[in-house]
């Protein structure tokens, strides 16, 4: 059970870094969704899942990933491609407001991560959860450790 917080962190990092790095590269929400779909399929292959279990994991990850993308798009003011930051600067929104918005989004993302992990724990074995965490870690841009801490 000590691995669950690590798995939650890694799950969050997968989707947060995917969405953030895609926005910074100028991807629109549709392109981000395509990338998310690719990552979900790669996870299913990495876990060697088949049949109903593969479909269930695919459904969980896609549904939760779409929720995450919706949150990220809303945070950027409904625009993909990172345009929200430029717009925020033009609207006169202060750094404090931006920081508070990021903190709210982080809390929402953490809640979504916990919900996702709860769903995955119903389908995956402990070994598969560990393997999934390793897959997520391998997907991080530049191999950054992020906030994952082994407990």
DSSP per-residue letters across 54-67: HHHHHHHHHHHHHH
- At 103, is the pLDDT very low, low, confident or very high (cuts 50, 70, 90)? confident
Q: What are the C-alpha distances in Å from 43 to residues 53, 70, 83, 106, 117?
A: 12, 21, 29, 24, 14
**Domain residue spans of the chain:** 37-69+99-140
Q: What are the C-alpha distances in Å from 92 to residues 32, 58, 100?
A: 28, 41, 15
Give residue-wise pLDDT tens across range 105-127: 889 989 998 899 899 999 999 99
What's the pLDDT score for residue 136? 83
Mean pLDDT of 86-115: 75
Give residue-wise pLDDT tens across range 21-77: 545 557 787 888 899 999 999 999 999 999 999 999 999 999 999 998 888 888 777
Say how far residue 51 (Cα) sits from the centre of its chain.
24
Q: What are the C-alpha distances in Å from 8 to residues 5, 24, 42, 79, 89?
A: 5, 24, 19, 27, 32
| Residue found by looking up tokens 């995956």 in the block | 124
What's the pLDDT score for residue 30? 84
In the predicted structure, residue 151 carries a pLDDT above the cut 50? no
| Residue found by looking up tokens 């917080």 in the block | 5
Q: What are the C-alpha distances in Å from 100 to residues 12, 13, 126, 138?
A: 19, 20, 36, 30
Give residue-wise pLDDT tens across range 122-149: 999 999 999 988 888 888 766 544 433 3
In the predicted structure, residue 8 carries a pLDDT above the cut 90? no
Q: Which residue has the higher pLDDT, 135 or 9?
A: 135
């Amino acid at each position: 059970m000590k691995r669950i917080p690590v798995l939650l962190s890694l799950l969050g990092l997968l989707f947060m870094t995917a969405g953030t790095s895609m926005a910074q590269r100028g991807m629109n929400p549709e392109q981000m969704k395509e990338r998310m779909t690719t990552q979900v399929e790669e996870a299913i292959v990495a876990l060697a899942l088949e049949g109903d279990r593969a479909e269930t994991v695919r459904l969980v990850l896609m549904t939760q990933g779409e929720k995450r993308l919706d949150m990220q798009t809303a945070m950027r003011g409904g625009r993909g491609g990172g345009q929200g930051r430029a717009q925020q600067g033009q609207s006169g929104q202060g750094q404090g407001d931006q920081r508070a918005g990021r903190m709210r989004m982080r809390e929402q993302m953490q809640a979504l991560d916990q919900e996702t992990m709860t769903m995955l724990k119903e389908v995956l074995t402990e070994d598969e959860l560990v393997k999934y965490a390793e897959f997520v870690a391998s997907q991080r841009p530049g191999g950054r450790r992020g906030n994952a801490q082994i407990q």
